[in-house]
Structure 1
Amino acid sequence: MIKALLLLIVLVNGLYAVRFVLDFLKHRKEAWAEPGSNFLLALWGALCFFLSTFGISDFALSTVLYRARKLVSDKKLPGTLNTQCAIPVAVMALAYISSITVEPKTLILLIVAQMAGAYIGPRFVVRLPAATIRTFMGIGLCLAAAFILAGKFNLVPSGGDATGLEGGKLILAVVLLALYGALNNVGIGSYAPTMATVYALGVNPAVAFPIMMGACTFSVPMGAMEFVRLGEYGRKITFFSSLFGIVGVLAAVYIVKSLNLSMLQWVVAAVVLYAGATMLFERAKGSEAA
């Protein structure tokens, strides 16, 4: 099953890569004329996806930089965010799934659950106030980070080192991952909640990485191909991010694989706390503006 999954990742993202390359070559003059220093874009591609490999949102980071430097219009920003991350995320998924031991049934079911949530969820999620969801998610993630830190200081039982889930825990994880996939549609990333869930259910925190990347690597290229077809994306940014993002991903994957469980728990706590605090800060900013 794992080999079949890896092959499917290569096929889906390979199709996207071919379409992007053909479009880039067709419009190469316009692409090189787009704003942005080649050195800056190369450096940013490596740094952005180095951080993204640890679960820090490349969408959020890139939005801040691209708008501040006026590298791409707001109209083309959503397309650029999707097209720039397709190849780096595929490399993340291939590296983590092939190098981190995960029980195949758990991996496949959780990837499918998150993809299903992302597909079916919008018709339900869009009816809910995004600000309210963000508030509850922010509080939940901060509490999850506190739980992880309490375990590190031996105040509560710490997370386990299992490579898969069974029975009620697996069913709960499937339901939650489907919910996280749905919440992606209101701008709430699934990386940090997935980390917190996997940890809380007693699984090795490293297992969260192939699950997170595996789900994203199927959903992202499908949307990215549509943006390429429409030409609604930054070609130059996507070129440099696709190329140098791989360098950042491989560097980060090596670090994650070489960290022991204790150090990885600190990384998970930091990412989850960052995500929760960011959501609460955005909610407070929105209330202030209103």
Structure 2
Amino acid sequence: MQKILIIAIIAINFLFIFVLVRDLLKHRHEIMEEPASPIWTPLSQIVIYFLSTFGISDFAISTALYPKAKWVTMKKLPGTLNTQCVIPVFVMSLAYISTITVGVKTLLVAIICQVIGAYLGPRFVVKLPEHIIRVFVIIGLLVATGLILAGKFGWIPSNGTATELYGWKLWTTGLLMFVYGALNNIGIGSYALTMATVYAMGMNPVAAFPIMMGGCTFSVSIGSMQFIKLNDYSRKITMFSVFGIIGVLIAVYLVKSLNTSVIQWIVIVVLLYSAISLYLDSRKSTEAV
């Protein structure tokens, strides 16, 4: 099962890379005209995916950074969050998947349901007005903050032992994974949500990783191909996302251990600040109208 999963991960991500490169070549004269910094963007990708490898949401950090830096419009933010993470998450999944600690049926249900949600999501997201996307982004920041706090204070149970789900637990998990796949497309990351679901269903905490990585590496690549097709993402940020591989490899191979407690508190402050700032900006825009 491990070999089949790895082959499938490589195949779907190479398909994404082909679609991305074709689009970048088609619009090569427009890429460098986009506002993202050609210096700070690649550096930010290294830091973002270094932290992401330790479980700190890349969606949340990017959402806090990009609107403030004015690197991408709010309308194209969801698509950018998805397209930029495909290649780093691809490398992350290959670097970490060494053993499958979850039942095959449970893993397949989780992956397939999240992929379906990710495939259908972009068709609706591109039709949403900017102020609605802003609301979802704010919700995503608050959800990420809440889940980080829940983990730090032990509010999420993490002492389950199951490696396989049956009956209502399996189908409930499948439904939730479908929703998480769709939420990815609005800019709400699924890592923390998946982990909370796995814990709530009484599964062994180590089962969270193959479900998270399996679901995300397939769902974001498939959803991202839709965003590319619909021309709803930042090409420059996505192009520079290859630098995120450096952050992943540093975290996996060079840094043996990292006390992320202080970093998590800093991230919590940044996320709350970003959510409040986006809310105040939204109010100003509404009042101006």
TM-score (structure 1 length as normaliser): 0.69
1:64 matched to 2:64? The reply is yes
CA contact (8 A) 1:144 1:196 kept: no
Name the residue aligned to 1:235. 235
CA distance in 1, matches of 2:122, 2:155: 35
CA distance in 1, matches of 2:254, 2:199: 19
Query: Aligned pair in 2 of structure 1 residues 70, 179: CA closer, same or farther (>3 Å)?
Result: closer
CA distance in 2, matches of 1:73, 1:30: 16
Name the residue aligned to 1:220. 220
Aligned-pair identity (%)? 52
- TM-superposed CA distance for 1:87, in Å, is 1.3
The amino acid that maps onto 1:106 is: T
Name the residue aligned to 1:126. none
- TM-superposed CA distance for 1:14, in Å, is 0.6
CA distance in 2, matches of 1:97, 1:250: 14
Query: Aligned pair in 2 of structure 1 residues 122, 98: CA closer, same or farther (>3 Å)?
Result: same
**Residue correspondence of structure 1 range 119-198 to structure 2 within 5 A:** 142=146, 146=150, 149-150=153-154, 159-160=159-160, 162-166=162-166, 169-184=169-184, 187-198=187-198
The amino acid that maps onto 1:115 is: V
**1:203-254 CA deviation, whole Å, 9 max, x = no partner?**
3333322212221222222332344345443322212112x11122233445
- Please, which moves more after superposition, 92-101 or 212-221? 92-101
CA distance in 2, matches of 1:42, 1:69: 14
CA distance in 1, matches of 2:144, 2:34: 41
Matched residue SS, 2:203: coil
CA contact (8 A) 2:114 2:219 kept: no
CA distance in 2, matches of 1:223, 1:140: 21
The amino acid that maps onto 1:159 is: N
Name the residue aligned to 2:24. 24
Name the residue aligned to 1:200. 200
CA contact (8 A) 1:141 1:192 kept: no
CA contact (8 A) 1:145 1:196 kept: no
Query: Aligned pair in 2 of structure 1 residues 141, 170: CA closer, same or farther (>3 Å)?
Result: farther
Name the residue aligned to 1:246. 245
- TM-superposed CA distance for 1:165, in Å, is 3.8
The amino acid that maps onto 2:210 is: P
Query: Aligned pair in 2 of structure 1 residues 141, 171: CA closer, same or farther (>3 Å)?
Result: farther
Name the residue aligned to 2:91. 91
CA distance in 2, matches of 1:5, 1:71: 35
CA distance in 1, matches of 2:146, 2:237: 33
- TM-superposed CA distance for 1:50, in Å, is 2.2
Query: Aligned pair in 2 of structure 1 residues 10, 139: CA closer, same or farther (>3 Å)?
Result: closer
- TM-superposed CA distance for 1:184, in Å, is 4.4
Matched residue SS, 1:13: helix
CA distance in 1, matches of 2:241, 2:177: 28
Name the residue aligned to 2:12. 12
CA distance in 2, matches of 1:160, 1:140: 22
CA distance in 2, matches of 1:16, 1:285: 34
Matched residue SS, 1:25: helix
The amino acid that maps onto 2:249 is: L
- TM-superposed CA distance for 1:80, in Å, is 2.6
**1:60-85 CA deviation, whole Å, 9 max, x = no partner?**
32233222222234454343323212
TM-score (structure 2 length as normaliser): 0.69
CA distance in 1, matches of 2:117, 2:11: 23
Larger proportion of helix? 1
CA contact (8 A) 1:100 1:206 kept: no
**1:80-108 CA deviation, whole Å, 9 max, x = no partner?**
32321221122223333335643333322
Structure 2: gaps (5+ residues): 124-131
CA contact (8 A) 1:162 1:204 kept: yes
